[in-house]
């Protein structure tokens, strides 16, 4: 009886080790590093980054209009801050001069899809078309490869994260939402951001928010005075040997 129980225990241990090994292989090759290790089977994008140096990123989604974009770029330049802009393909094709301006300002450009669809409703091939087509439109203007992707509406599922990773993209979400698209006052936008930031934060804003440009000098100078340093997302995130917890916090692998 003892031998039977011991054999069952050994078999159970081997099965557990096999499952862990399979999960590790899956994590290693999908790029969705270690979201499983917090008892969450769902893949998640990078919402923020675990770091102690008070580095943060401000990002802008570009999908509609350009009326306030020059003022945003002027505010960034005045504070010597480089940001990351996520562009929809139809926006980058309609406003190539602004793509050039943003690139010339030293800012980083990622894709925000081709059509601004709810991408969790698309299959893998449709996702690939959205990402490759939109990236190509940006690269034709800047001559630089696109490595970052933000899903429209913040909408994602496992297939989207996995497919983007297989194509070499880091999927970026945010942990500080300015809600500038709601046309809040500049003061309200600034307070939401300033009060929500922590080391490693990714701030979400929009290139055509009514009071976004007006809020930026307050945000940038206040946070710089508090010891924060702004860098593009590509310089904020880890490129390898990392995990992502169930809340989307990217951390060094342990």
Q: In this structure, are residues 233 and 148 in contact, taking their beta carbons and an 8 Å threshold?
A: yes
Q: How far apart are CA 102 and CA 98, in angstroms?
A: 6
Contact between 119 and 160 under an 8 Å Cβ cutoff? The reply is: yes
pLDDT digits (tens, 9 = 90+) for 89-137: 999 999 999 999 999 999 999 999 999 999 999 999 999 999 999 999 9
Is it the case that residue 236 has pLDDT exceeding 70?
A: yes
- Residue 206 a catalytic site member: yes
Chain centroid, CA 102 distance in Å? 18
pTM: 0.84
CATH number of 48-252: 3.20.20.370
What does the mean pLDDT of the chain come to?
A: 88
Specify whether 68 is catalytic. no
pLDDT value at residue 131:
98
Q: Is the pLDDT of residue 17 over 90?
A: no
Alpha helix positions (H), the chain: 2-30, 69-78, 89-94, 96-104, 124-142, 158-166, 186-196, 212-225, 233-236
**Choosing from 68, 206, 211, 245, which is the catalytic residue?**
206
Q: Which of 61, 112, 116, 211 is catalytic?
A: 61
For the chain, the structural domain boundaries read 2-30, 48-252
Under the banding of pLDDT at 50, 70 and 90, the label for residue 31 is very low
């Amino acid at each position: 009886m003892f031998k039977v129980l011991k054999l069952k225990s050994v078999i159970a241990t081997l099965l557990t080790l096999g499952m862990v090994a399979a999960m590790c292989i899956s994590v290693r090759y999908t790029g969705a590093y270690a979201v499983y290790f917090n008892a969450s089977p769902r893949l998640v994008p990078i919402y923020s980054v675990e770091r102690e140096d008070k580095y943060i990123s401000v990002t802008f989604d570009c999908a509609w209009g350009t009326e306030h974009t020059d003022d945003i770029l002027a505010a960034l330049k005045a504070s010597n801050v480089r940001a990351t802009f996520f562009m929809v393909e139809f926006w980058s094709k309609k406003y190539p001069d602004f793509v050039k301006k943003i690139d010339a300002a030293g800012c980083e450009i990622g894709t925000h899809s081709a059509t601004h669809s709810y991408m969790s409703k698309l299959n893998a091939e449709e996702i690939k078309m959205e990402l490759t087509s939109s990236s190509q439109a940006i690269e034709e203007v800047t001559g630089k490869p696109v490595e970052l992707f933000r899903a429209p509406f913040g909408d994602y599922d496992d297939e989207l994260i996995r497919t983007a990773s297989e194509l070499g993209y880091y999927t970026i979400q945010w942990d500080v939402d300015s809600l500038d698209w709601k046309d809040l006052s500049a003061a309200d936008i600034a307070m939401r951001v300033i009060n929500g930031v922590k080391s490693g934060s990714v701030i979400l804003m929009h290139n055509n928010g009514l009071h976004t440009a007006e809020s930026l000098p307050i945000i940038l100078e206040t946070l710089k005075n508090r010891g924060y340093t702004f860098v593009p997302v590509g310089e904020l995130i880890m490129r390898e040997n990392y995990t992502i917890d169930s809340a989307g916090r990217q951390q060094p692998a342990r």
